[in-house]
Amino acid sequence: MVETVVIVGRPNVGKSTLFNRLVGRRQAIVNKTPGLTRDWREGMADLAGLEFRVIDTAGLEEAFDDSLQARMREHTDRVVAEADLVIFLFDARTGVTPMDSHFADWLRRQSSPVVVVANKCEGAFDIAGISEAYALGFGDPVAISAEHNEGFADLFAAILPWTEASTGQDATEDQAVEREAPPLQLAIVGRPNVGKSTLINKLIGEERMLTGPEAGVTRDAVAVDWSYKLQPLRLVDTAGQRRRARVSDSLEKLSVGDAERAIRFAHVVVLVLDAEAMLERQDLSIARQTVEEGRALVIAANKWDLVADKKAALERLRDRLQTSLPQVRGVPFVTISALNGQNLERLLDTVLDIYGAWNRRVPTARLNNWLGLVSEDHPPRMDRGRAVRLRYITQVKARPPTFAIWATRPKSVPDSYIRYLENRLRDEFDLDGIPLRLHLRKGRNPYATDR
């Protein structure tokens, strides 16, 4: 049986854009619902290797305006009833509208599981809509931009457990466990010859990829699953190793493109460095990109066995990290020898740790206690003689941890103060090395009236 995912939502939230993104160049089929004038589209989606049937209900919802509820039932009922999973899409820029809430009420009464997805979250988006989505009652919203192709790794992670659960005829206990712990998606990236293939071989304990001093020896490698300390892991993309054969003279350029792809689908990115030439321009560009994409970064300084003066090398690495990656203080690094298998456990422990922090949710009460102390301790400077007050903070999402602070005169708060707040957050809530996001919004505690 093919798993079916249905995209629903009010008009203009981006259902078709998401559908097109998922189906890509594959053929979409246009269906007619017997007895109805509306069409709906379906196609096979491929989301980082995860295949499922996807249905776009755009077109089914256009007649909603006159009599929302009746129409919705008539048109969407049958499609939703068939679904293994419903993607409930809303427009994060507009926020949750009454029609969205209506939709949510109705969906809650259906039997299919629902993932709520906040669309139009590209770039430095306004997160108002995301925080509102919790009120819909479907758990963590997944933030994406269908148009700009962002957030698809999170969408993947949100969909995966449901599709896996529905493939077995009868769900065993094992599957139930697996459903609770979707795999940590790991990317191993770095310049050519730093030792990525050697490391991957050692980690998964099989000679799936051949390594050697000459380019072109690596065989095809697709996603590889294994587990470490009960945490399922998935190596998301090893294209960097795969395509090496064909690019002998543009190696440098290609590896950056591959890294981009891998980073986008990863939760945690291990950037492998050659300990004898660490944090060169290209290394840094991969590191920065990882952070910009909001992924957790771990640095593996490889070939440590070849380093003569280890103490000096460590100091150099620490310095360079501090000066070159000011966006994220405290990026963890581990010195390893992929060849000898040295320190690989520590590397994986570090990966698990940072993944935990990247997923962390800090309770709102603790955050507000903290905010009170910090703004007393070191308040933002005045804006034309008037105090800037930080009134309320909440974590609007995890992966990466994203916080919103409601303040008076937020525009007058300088970046340096925001960086200061980020670092204090890191100290207080154990978020070192995590690419935090912190947005300032104008106004009072937005939830005060709800309580």
Q: In the complex, which residues of this chain contact ligand GDP (CB under 6 A)?
A: 190, 192-198, 211-213, 241, 302-303, 305-306, 337-339
Q: How far apart, in whole angstroms, are the C-alpha atoms of residue 438 and residue 312?
A: 35
**Closest CB 195 distance from ligand GDP, rounded Å:** 3
The amino acid present at 263, given as its one-letter code, is: I
**Least CB distance from residue 308 to ligand GDP, whole Å?**
12
Give the nearer residue to ligand GDP in terms of CB position, either 197 or 289.
197
CA distances 76 to 58, 62, 69, Å, are 10, 11, 10
In angstroms, give the least distance from the CB of 112 to ligand GDP.
43
Minimum CB separation from ligand GDP for residue 183, in Å?
Answer: 22
In angstroms, what is the minimal distance from the CB of 280 to ligand GDP? 14
Helix (H) / strand (E) containing 172: none
- Tell me the residue nearest to ligand GDP as measured from the CB: 195
Q: How far is the CB of 344 from ligand GDP (least distance, A)?
A: 10
How far apart CA 207 and CA 200 sit, in angstroms, is: 9
Minimum separation from the CB atom of position 227 to ligand GDP (A): 23
- With tokens 């690419």, the residue in question is 435
Query: Please, which residue, 126 or 305, has the CB nearer to ligand GDP?
Result: 305
CB of 251 to ligand GDP, least distance (A): 9
Shortest gap between Cβ of 322 and ligand GDP (angstroms)?
25
Residues 193, 244: Cα–Cα separation, whole Å:
10
Tell me whether residue 18 or residue 279 sits nearer to ligand GDP (CB atom).
279
Among 48, 67, 74, 58, CA closest to 6: 58
Nearest CB to ligand GDP, comparing residues 246 and 381: 246
Q: CB 28 → ligand GDP: shortest distance, Å?
A: 38
What span, in angstroms and rounded, lies between the C-alpha atoms of 268 and 258? 16
Residue number, 241 or 350, with CB nearest to ligand GDP: 241
CB of 244 to ligand GDP, least distance (A): 7
Closest to ligand GDP by CB, 45 or 278: 278
Residue closer to ligand GDP by CB (options 196, 329) is 196
Cα(150)–Cα(131) distance, integer angstroms: 18
CB 441 within 8 A of CB 404: yes
- Between 26 and 246, CB nearer to ligand GDP: 246
For the chain, the helix, strand and coil percentages under 3-state DSSP, each to the nearest 5: 40, 20, 35
E-strand spans in 182-262?
A: 184-189, 224-228, 231-235
Per the document, the length of the chain is 451
Q: Which CB sits closer to ligand GDP, 212 or 379?
A: 212
Written as one letter, the residue type at 24 is G
The smaller minimum CB distance to ligand GDP, of residues 201 and 394, is found at 201
Q: Which is nearer to ligand GDP, 9 or 190 (CB)?
A: 190
At residue 29, φ and ψ (nearest 5 deg) are: -105, 135
10 sits in which H/E element: none
Residue 258 beta carbon to ligand GDP: minimum distance, rounded to whole angstroms: 11
CA distances from 258 to 214, 234, 237, 264, 272 (A): 19, 17, 8, 10, 14
CB nearer to ligand GDP: pick between 240 and 294: 240
Query: What is the b/e burial string over 281-304, where b = at least 16 CB atoms within 10 angstroms of the residue's CB?
Result: ebbeebbebbbebbbbbbbbbbbb
CA 226 to chain centre: 20
Q: Which residue in 324, 208, 226 sits closest to 271, CA to CA?
A: 324
Tell me the DSSP string of 111-171: SS-EEEEEE---SS---HHHHHGGGGTSSSPEE-BTTTTBSHHHHHHHHHHHHHHHHSSS-
294 in Cβ contact with 437 (< 8 Å): yes
